[in-house]
Protein backbone atom coordinates (compact mmCIF):
# COMPACT_ATOMS: atom_id res chain seq x y z
CA UNK A 1 0.00 0.00 0.00
CA UNK A 2 1.09 3.58 -0.62
CA UNK A 3 2.06 5.85 2.20
CA UNK A 4 -0.75 7.24 4.29
CA UNK A 5 -1.36 10.74 5.59
CA UNK A 6 -3.30 11.09 8.80
CA UNK A 7 -4.74 14.48 9.66
CA UNK A 8 -5.63 15.09 13.29
CA UNK A 9 -7.67 18.11 14.38
CA UNK A 10 -9.02 19.06 17.78
CA UNK A 11 -8.83 21.30 20.79
CA UNK A 12 -5.24 21.49 21.93
CA UNK A 13 -4.23 19.68 25.12
CA UNK A 14 -1.22 17.73 26.37
CA UNK A 15 -0.91 14.18 24.96
CA UNK A 16 -2.37 14.35 21.45
CA UNK A 17 0.89 13.48 19.66
CA UNK A 18 1.54 10.75 22.20
CA UNK A 19 -1.91 9.22 21.81
CA UNK A 20 -1.87 9.12 17.99
CA UNK A 21 1.73 7.97 17.66
CA UNK A 22 1.15 5.13 20.13
CA UNK A 23 -1.85 3.88 18.15
CA UNK A 24 0.25 3.99 14.97
CA UNK A 25 3.03 2.12 16.74
CA UNK A 26 0.63 -0.58 17.86
CA UNK A 27 -0.61 -0.88 14.27
CA UNK A 28 2.98 -1.46 13.10
CA UNK A 29 3.17 1.75 11.06
CA UNK A 30 6.52 3.37 10.36
CA UNK A 31 6.31 7.07 11.10
CA UNK A 32 8.09 9.08 8.40
CA UNK A 33 7.05 12.68 9.01
CA UNK A 34 5.15 14.52 11.68
CA UNK A 35 4.28 18.16 11.79
CA UNK A 36 1.97 19.99 14.10
CA UNK A 37 0.79 23.51 14.67
CA UNK A 38 -1.47 25.33 17.05
CA UNK A 39 -3.74 28.10 15.81
CA UNK A 40 -5.13 29.94 18.79
CA UNK A 41 -6.46 26.95 20.86
CA UNK A 42 -6.82 24.47 18.01
CA UNK A 43 -4.38 21.64 17.32
CA UNK A 44 -3.64 20.42 13.80
CA UNK A 45 -1.25 17.54 13.21
CA UNK A 46 -0.09 15.68 10.11
CA UNK A 47 1.44 12.23 10.21
CA UNK A 48 2.87 10.52 7.14
CA UNK A 49 3.33 6.80 7.76
CA UNK A 50 4.38 3.70 5.89
CA UNK A 51 1.84 1.04 6.99
CA UNK A 52 2.63 -2.68 7.18
CA UNK A 53 1.47 -4.74 4.12
CA UNK A 54 -1.32 -6.47 6.00
CA UNK A 55 -3.10 -3.24 7.03
CA UNK A 56 -5.39 -1.51 4.56
CA UNK A 57 -6.62 2.06 4.59
CA UNK A 58 -10.05 1.18 5.96
CA UNK A 59 -8.60 -0.75 8.86
CA UNK A 60 -6.18 2.04 9.80
CA UNK A 61 -8.91 4.64 9.61
CA UNK A 62 -11.39 2.64 11.69
CA UNK A 63 -8.85 1.87 14.40
CA UNK A 64 -7.66 5.46 14.73
CA UNK A 65 -11.17 6.90 14.81
CA UNK A 66 -12.38 4.31 17.31
CA UNK A 67 -9.49 4.85 19.70
CA UNK A 68 -9.66 8.64 19.63
CA UNK A 69 -13.40 9.32 19.58
CA UNK A 70 -13.57 9.80 23.34
CA UNK A 71 -10.88 12.47 23.24
CA UNK A 72 -12.82 14.62 20.76
CA UNK A 73 -10.29 14.44 17.97
CA UNK A 74 -11.29 14.55 14.35
CA UNK A 75 -9.25 12.13 12.22
CA UNK A 76 -8.92 11.87 8.47
CA UNK A 77 -6.85 9.16 6.76
CA UNK A 78 -5.91 9.05 3.11
CA UNK A 79 -3.28 7.54 0.84
CA UNK A 80 -0.65 9.63 -0.82
CA UNK A 81 1.63 9.21 -3.77
CA UNK A 82 4.96 8.11 -2.34
CA UNK A 83 6.87 10.53 -4.52
CA UNK A 84 8.46 9.83 -7.85
CA UNK A 85 12.04 8.87 -7.22
CA UNK A 86 14.49 10.50 -9.58
CA UNK A 87 12.16 13.36 -10.50
CA UNK A 88 14.15 16.53 -11.23
CA UNK A 89 13.48 19.13 -8.53
CA UNK A 90 12.10 22.36 -9.93
CA UNK A 91 14.59 25.20 -10.24
CA UNK A 92 13.62 28.43 -8.62
CA UNK A 93 14.01 30.69 -5.63
CA UNK A 94 12.09 31.29 -2.45
CA UNK A 95 10.80 34.74 -1.58
CA UNK A 96 8.94 36.07 1.43
CA UNK A 97 6.05 38.40 0.72
CA UNK A 98 5.09 40.24 3.88
CA UNK A 99 2.30 42.74 4.29
CA UNK A 100 1.79 44.91 7.33
CA UNK A 101 -1.22 47.13 7.80
CA UNK A 102 -4.86 47.48 8.77
CA UNK A 103 -6.95 44.33 9.01
CA UNK A 104 -9.59 44.01 6.31
CA UNK A 105 -11.82 41.18 5.20
CA UNK A 106 -10.57 39.20 2.21
CA UNK A 107 -6.87 40.01 2.49
CA UNK A 108 -5.64 36.44 2.29
CA UNK A 109 -8.15 35.70 -0.47
CA UNK A 110 -6.96 38.64 -2.58
CA UNK A 111 -3.24 38.08 -2.21
CA UNK A 112 -3.35 34.32 -2.57
CA UNK A 113 -5.42 34.78 -5.73
CA UNK A 114 -2.75 36.98 -7.27
CA UNK A 115 -0.09 34.45 -6.37
CA UNK A 116 -2.16 31.58 -7.77
CA UNK A 117 -2.94 33.52 -10.96
CA UNK A 118 0.80 33.71 -11.62
CA UNK A 119 1.10 29.97 -11.08
CA UNK A 120 3.30 30.37 -8.00
CA UNK A 121 3.13 27.91 -5.13
CA UNK A 122 2.73 29.11 -1.56
CA UNK A 123 5.05 26.99 0.58
CA UNK A 124 4.08 28.53 3.86
CA UNK A 125 1.65 31.15 5.04
CA UNK A 126 1.37 32.86 8.34
CA UNK A 127 -1.32 35.44 8.93
CA UNK A 128 -2.05 37.15 12.21
CA UNK A 129 -4.83 39.71 12.46
CA UNK A 130 -5.22 41.01 15.96
CA UNK A 131 -6.71 44.37 14.96
CA UNK A 132 -5.80 47.42 16.99
CA UNK A 133 -3.27 50.13 16.19
CA UNK A 134 -0.05 48.16 16.46
CA UNK A 135 1.02 47.72 12.84
CA UNK A 136 2.93 44.57 13.71
CA UNK A 137 -0.30 43.01 15.02
CA UNK A 138 -1.68 42.62 11.49
CA UNK A 139 0.76 40.70 9.38
CA UNK A 140 0.62 38.27 6.51
CA UNK A 141 3.72 36.47 5.40
CA UNK A 142 3.74 34.21 2.36
CA UNK A 143 6.73 32.05 1.61
CA UNK A 144 6.51 31.38 -2.11
CA UNK A 145 8.60 29.32 -4.47
CA UNK A 146 9.08 31.09 -7.75
CA UNK A 147 10.23 28.88 -10.58
CA UNK A 148 12.33 30.18 -13.42
CA UNK A 149 9.46 30.33 -15.89
CA UNK A 150 7.47 32.82 -13.79
CA UNK A 151 7.34 36.48 -14.78
CA UNK A 152 8.56 37.73 -11.41
CA UNK A 153 8.34 41.42 -12.25
CA UNK A 154 4.69 41.06 -13.26
CA UNK A 155 3.82 39.14 -10.08
CA UNK A 156 5.57 41.64 -7.81
CA UNK A 157 3.96 44.55 -9.62
CA UNK A 158 0.48 43.05 -9.15
CA UNK A 159 1.15 42.41 -5.45
CA UNK A 160 2.49 45.91 -4.87
CA UNK A 161 -0.44 47.49 -6.67
CA UNK A 162 -2.96 45.60 -4.56
CA UNK A 163 -1.08 46.44 -1.38
CA UNK A 164 -1.18 50.10 -2.30
CA UNK A 165 -4.93 49.97 -2.94
CA UNK A 166 -5.43 48.39 0.48
CA UNK A 167 -3.06 50.78 2.28
CA UNK A 168 -0.71 47.95 3.24
CA UNK A 169 3.05 48.12 3.50
CA UNK A 170 4.42 45.27 1.41
CA UNK A 171 7.93 43.83 1.40
CA UNK A 172 9.08 41.24 -1.12
CA UNK A 173 12.46 39.81 -0.19
CA UNK A 174 14.48 36.76 -1.10
CA UNK A 175 14.52 34.39 1.85
CA UNK A 176 18.32 34.45 2.10
CA UNK A 177 18.17 37.89 3.67
CA UNK A 178 16.17 36.43 6.56
CA UNK A 179 18.65 33.58 6.79
CA UNK A 180 21.56 36.00 6.85
CA UNK A 181 20.08 38.07 9.64
CA UNK A 182 18.45 35.42 11.78
CA UNK A 183 20.08 32.06 11.20
CA UNK A 184 23.65 31.86 12.37
- Binding interface with another protein (CB under 8 A): 96, 98, 100, 123-124, 126, 128, 136, 139, 141, 143, 169, 171-178, 180-182, 184
List of residues 6+ apart from 184 with CB closer than 8 A: none
CA nearest to 32, candidates 52, 54, 5: 5
Smallest separation (angstroms) from another protein to the CB of 29: 27
Nearer to another protein, 65 or 172 (CB): 172
Smallest separation (angstroms) from another protein to the CB of 144: 12
Nearer to another protein, 47 or 142 (CB): 142
CB distance 30 to 48 below 8 Å: no
Nearer to another protein, 66 or 126 (CB): 126
State the Cα–Cα distance between residues 21 and 86, nearest whole angstrom: 30
Smallest separation (angstroms) from another protein to the CB of 125: 9
Smallest separation (angstroms) from another protein to the CB of 171: 5
Amino acid sequence: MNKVIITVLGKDRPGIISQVSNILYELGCNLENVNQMILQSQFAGFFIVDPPPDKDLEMLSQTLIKKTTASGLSIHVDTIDGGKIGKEPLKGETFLITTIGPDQKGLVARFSSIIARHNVNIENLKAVFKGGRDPNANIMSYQVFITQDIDTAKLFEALRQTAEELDLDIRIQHKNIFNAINKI
